[in-house]
Structure 1
Amino acid sequence: MLDKSRSPATEARMTTTLPGPDCTTMTEVRAGVDQVDRELVALLARRFAYMDAAARIKPERGAVRDEGRKAQVIANARAAAEAAGLPGDVIADLWEQLVEASIAYELTQFDARAANMDNMGT
């Protein structure tokens, strides 16, 4: 419901997030950050669905950790970050953590699937 005491522009700013450069208050900045965080979580859910698939497809637990692929993923993220004007080192560090978390999740999924298969066989 619109507040009649607010101008339409003010009302619009309170119900939508603004691009960072257009923010003039910390409330607007925080709303934007919160929105981006929700989007990031949704993207992580998509990424982890691929980890579920990898755990299902890989034939053995030892195949879960692939250091060559890990290095490639981090290098790709660094290059994309630098192309976007972001600090490559910061993004590479963040991706290191993301990839390690993804590997840990995939191992958990692999182990759960293996345990389920063992239980079905006994």
Structure 2
Amino acid sequence: MTLIGSNLAIFTFVLVFLFPRYASNQLNGVLFQVTLTTTLLAIFLFGISGVYYLEVVGVAKTSIARKRVLVQRGDSLFVVSLMLGTAMPALILFTLGITAVAVIATGLWALYVGFIIQQGRKLRIS
């Protein structure tokens, strides 16, 4: 659950260090809230995917068909969580108004999403 811990650390950082600037209207309020929401979604989707994987591994009586469904759900939530988690640097940078670096982070994130989609297609074929 290191991914959950990392996201909790980011969430805490955003709240502790950026909330005072948000409260005094020094930040884009919409981006601040989108960043917090994205972090929360990543945290809980990682957790839910972990529960699906836990049932696959921990419950011996679960049928093979049910295990396939659980793994597929866990995989889907895990990938969505990764996409949300890797979007956070760009969101934080945009929130802080560091636009040039935020655009680079967004480009890297888009490449990462493309890579995940490509790898997912390869895995489905094999």
**TM superposition score normalised by structure 1:** 0.33
Flag the structure with more relative contact order, 1 or 2, with Cα contacts below 8 A and sequence separation at least 6. Answer: 2
Higher helix proportion: 2
Structure 2 length normalisation: TM-score? 0.32
